[in-house]
C-alpha cells in the first residue's frame, strides 16, 4: 500500500505571495504619494507649528516674569531700589531675545512679515523704555522711573503679551486645520486600501499567529523590564538619599567645623585688637558673616538630609520642616496629627518626608495662595498624609505631570501605597498619600 504523498504548501504560498505583491505594487504608488504628502504636511506645518508654539509660550512666560517684576517694583513696601531689578531684567532679556530668534526660525508660513516686524519692533521699543527707566533710577529719580513703569512699560508689556497670545491662537487654528487635513488623508487611504486588506487576509492570518507567539515573548520581556525599572527606581532613590546624606554630613562636619573655627579665631583676634579701632569692627563684621554662613550651611544640611528624622521620628521632623518651610516660602501652614507614627521604619519616613517636601514646594510655586493644611493620620491600617490648598488647582481632565510628581509616584509605589490628586470642595488641590501597614512592613 502506497502512502499518499502530502502536498507541499509551497506552491499555494508562492501564489498567495505573488498576488499580494502584485496588489501591493498596484496600490503602492497611491499610498506612497498620500503618505509622502502627509509626511510633508506634518513636517512643514504640524511639527513646525508646535515648535513655534513652544517658543511663543517661552516668550509669554518671560513677559509674565517681567509683569511680576514690574508689579514688585511698584510695590511701595519693597525696601529695594529699582536698580536692584536690573540683573533680573538682563537675564530675562537674554532669554527673551533667544526665544524671539528661535521663534523667527520656525515661524509658520502663513504669518505675514508685518506681524513678525511688529513683534520685533515692539520688543525693541520695550527694552529701550526699560533702559530709560533704569537710567532714571540710577540718576536717583525713583519717582520718575516708577512713573515710567506705570505709564509706558506696563502698557508695552501688555501689548506684547496680547500680540503673543494672538500668535498662539493663530497657531492653534492652523494646527486644527492641519489635523483635519491629516484626518481626511487618513480616511482616503483607509478607504482605498480596504480591499487590499481583504485580499491579503490569509497572509495576515499567518503573520498574526506568528506575531501572537512573538508578542508573548515581548510581553514577558516587558514584565521583566518593568520589574527591573522598579528595582532601578528604588536603587536610584536609595543612591540619591545616600548621596544627600553624605553631602549633608560633609557640610555639617567638615565645613561646619571650619566655619566654627574661623569664628573662634576671629573672636580671639577681635579681643586682641584695640577697643574702638577699625580693625576690631572689621573682625566683628567678618565674624558675623561667618556665623551667618554657618547658620545657612546648617539649614541646607538639614534640608538635604534632616538628621532629626532618624533621631526624633517623622512627627517631629514634619513639625520642624513646616515651621522652617513656612518662613522660607512665606506659607501659613496648619498641621494636624492623629495617632502616632512611632513604628514607621526609616525607609518609609524618608519617602513620606520627600513627598511632603515636594507637595509643599508645589503649593508655594504653583497654587497662588499662601495658606495650606497638612494632615497626618496613623492607625492600625496604615498611614495617610494630606496636603491641601485652596489655590488655582489642577487643570480638569489632565493628569498631573512633572519630574517632581513622577518622583512622588515612584516613592509611594515603592512603599506599596497610593497617591491621589483631588479637588477639595473649596477648590484648589488635595494631595493624598496612603501607605498600608502591611506594605510598610515588607518595604
Q: Is the pLDDT of residue 432 over 50?
A: yes
C-beta separation of 355 from 411 below 8 A: yes
Q: What is the pLDDT of residue 1?
A: 40
Q: What is the pLDDT of residue 2?
A: 42
C-beta separation of 436 from 416 below 8 A: yes
DSSP element (H, E) containing 29: helix 10-41
Q: What is the pLDDT of residue 299?
A: 65
Mean pLDDT of 343-354: 80
C-beta separation of 19 from 199 below 8 A: yes
Grid cell digits, residue 15: 501564489
Q: What is the pLDDT of residue 320?
A: 82
State the pairing for strand pair 371-379/418-422. unpaired
Helices and strands: H and E segment counts in the chain: 14, 5
Write down the pTM of the prediction: 0.43
Q: Is the pLDDT of residue 384 over 60?
A: yes
> Could you write out the DSSP letters of every residue in 193-240?
HHHHHHHTHHHHHHHHHHHHHHHHHHHHHHHHHHHHHHHHHHHHHHHH
Residues 85, 142: Cα–Cα separation, whole Å: 13
C-beta separation of 393 from 423 below 8 A: yes
Q: What is the pLDDT of residue 443?
A: 40
Please give the DSSP secondary-structure letter assigned to residue 404: H
Reported as a pLDDT band with limits 50, 70 and 90, residue 193 is low
Reported as a pLDDT band with limits 50, 70 and 90, residue 233 is low
Residues 432, 379: Cα–Cα separation, whole Å: 16
Grid cell digits, residue 392: 488655582
Facing residues of 389 across strands? 372, 429
Q: What is the pLDDT of residue 351?
A: 85
Grid cell digits, residue 350: 524618608
Per DSSP, the three-state class of 105 is helix
Mean pLDDT of 127-145: 86
C-beta separation of 380 from 441 below 8 A: no
Highest mean pLDDT among 141-155, 249-263, 305-319, 339-353: 141-155
Beta-carbon count within 10 A of 146 CB? 19
When computed from its CA atoms, the radius of gyration of the chain, rounded to whole angstroms, is: 32
What sign has the CA pseudo-torsion 25, 26, 29, 31? negative
Q: What is the pLDDT of residue 373?
A: 92
Facing residues of 336 across strands? 375
Grid cell digits, residue 438: 502591611
Highest mean pLDDT among 18-27, 38-47, 314-323, 356-365: 356-365
Lowest mean pLDDT segment, chosen from 185-189, 333-337, 351-355? 185-189
Residues 306, 323: Cα–Cα separation, whole Å: 14
Residues 429, 420: Cα–Cα separation, whole Å: 10
Q: Is the pLDDT of residue 430 over 80?
A: yes
C-beta separation of 45 from 107 below 8 A: no
Residues 177, 41: Cα–Cα separation, whole Å: 11
Lowest mean pLDDT segment, chosen from 151-165, 388-402, 410-424? 388-402
Highest mean pLDDT among 183-192, 218-227, 404-413: 404-413
Q: Is the pLDDT of residue 77 over 80?
A: no
Mean pLDDT of 126-143: 86
* Higher pLDDT among residues 211 and 61, named by residue: 61
Tell me the pLDDT tens digit for each residue of 268-307: 777 777 776 777 677 777 777 877 776 666 666 666 666 6
Q: What is the pLDDT of residue 374?
A: 92
Lowest mean pLDDT segment, chosen from 20-34, 65-79, 90-104, 109-123? 20-34
Q: Is the pLDDT of residue 375 over 80?
A: yes
Grid cell digits, residue 20: 499580494
Amino acid at each position: 500500500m502506497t502512502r499518499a504523498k502530502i502536498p507541499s504548501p509551497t506552491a499555494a504560498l508562492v501564489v498567495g505571495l505573488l498576488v499580494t505583491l502584485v496588489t501591493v505594487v498596484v496600490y503602492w504608488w497611491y499610498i506612497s504619494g498620500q503618505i509622502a504628502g502627509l509626511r510633508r504636511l506634518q513636517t512643514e506645518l504640524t511639527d513646525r507649528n508646535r515648535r513655534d508654539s513652544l517658543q511663543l509660550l517661552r516668550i509669554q512666560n518671560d513677559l509674565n516674569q517681567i509683569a511680576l517684576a514690574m508689579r514688585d517694583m511698584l510695590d511701595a513696601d519693597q525696601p529695594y531700589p529699582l536698580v536692584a531689578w536690573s540683573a533680573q531684567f538682563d537675564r530675562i532679556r537674554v532669554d527673551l531675545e533667544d526665544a524671539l530668534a528661535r521663534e523667527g526660525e520656525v515661524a509658520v508660513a502663513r504669518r505675514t512679515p508685518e506681524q513678525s516686524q511688529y513683534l520685533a519692533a515692539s520688543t525693541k521699543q520695550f527694552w529701550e523704555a526699560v533702559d530709560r527707566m533704569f537710567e532714571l533710577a540710577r540718576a536717583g529719580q525713583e519717582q520718575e522711573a516708577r512713573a515710567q513703569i506705570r505709564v509706558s512699560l506696563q502698557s508695552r508689556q501688555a501689548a506684547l503679551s496680547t500680540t503673543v497670545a494672538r500668535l498662539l491662537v493663530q497657531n492653534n487654528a492652523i494646527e486644527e486645520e492641519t489635523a483635519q487635513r491629516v484626518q481626511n488623508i487618513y480616511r482616503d487611504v483607509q478607504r482605498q486600501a480596504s480591499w487590499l486588506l481583504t485580499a491579503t487576509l490569509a497572509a495576515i492570518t499567518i503573520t498574526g499567529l506568528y506575531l501572537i507567539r512573538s508578542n508573548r515573548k515581548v510581553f514577558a520581556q516587558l514584565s521583566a523590564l518593568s520589574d527591573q525599572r522598579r528595582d532601578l527606581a528604588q536603587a536610584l532613590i536609595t543612591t540619591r538619599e545616600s548621596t544627600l546624606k553624605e553631602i549633608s554630613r560633609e557640610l555639617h562636619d567638615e565645613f561646619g567645623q571650619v566655619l566654627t573655627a574661623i569664628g573662634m579665631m576671629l573672636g580671639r583676634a577681635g579681643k586682641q585688637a584695640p577697643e574702638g579701632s577699625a580693625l576690631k569692627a572689621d573682625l566683628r563684621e567678618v565674624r558675623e558673616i561667618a556665623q551667618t554662613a554657618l547658620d545657612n550651611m546648617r539649614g541646607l544640611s538639614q534640608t538635604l538630609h534632616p538628621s532629626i528624622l532618624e533621631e526624633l521620628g517623622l512627627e517631629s521632623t514634619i513639625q520642624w520642616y513646616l515651621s522652617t518651610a513656612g518662613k522660607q516660602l512665606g506659607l501659613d501652614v496648619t498641621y494636624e496629627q492623629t495617632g502616632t507614627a512611632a513604628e514607621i521604619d526609616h525607609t518609609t519616613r524618608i519617602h513620606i518626608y520627600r513627598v511632603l517636601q515636594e507637595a509643599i514646594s508645589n503649593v508655594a510655586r504653583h497654587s497662588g495662595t499662601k495658606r495650606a493644611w497638612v494632615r497626618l493620620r496613623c492607625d492600625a491600617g496604615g498611614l495617610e498624609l494630606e496636603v491641601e490648598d485652596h489655590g488655582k488647582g489642577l487643570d480638569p481632565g489632565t493628569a498631573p505631570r512633572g519630574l517632581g510628581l513622577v518622583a512622588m509616584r515612584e516613592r509611594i509605589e515603592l512603599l506599596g501605597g497610593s497617591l491621589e490628586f483631588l479637588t477639595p470642595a473649596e477648590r484648589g488641590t488635595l494631595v493624598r498619600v496612603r501607605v498600608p501597614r502591611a506594605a510598610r512592613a515588607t518595604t
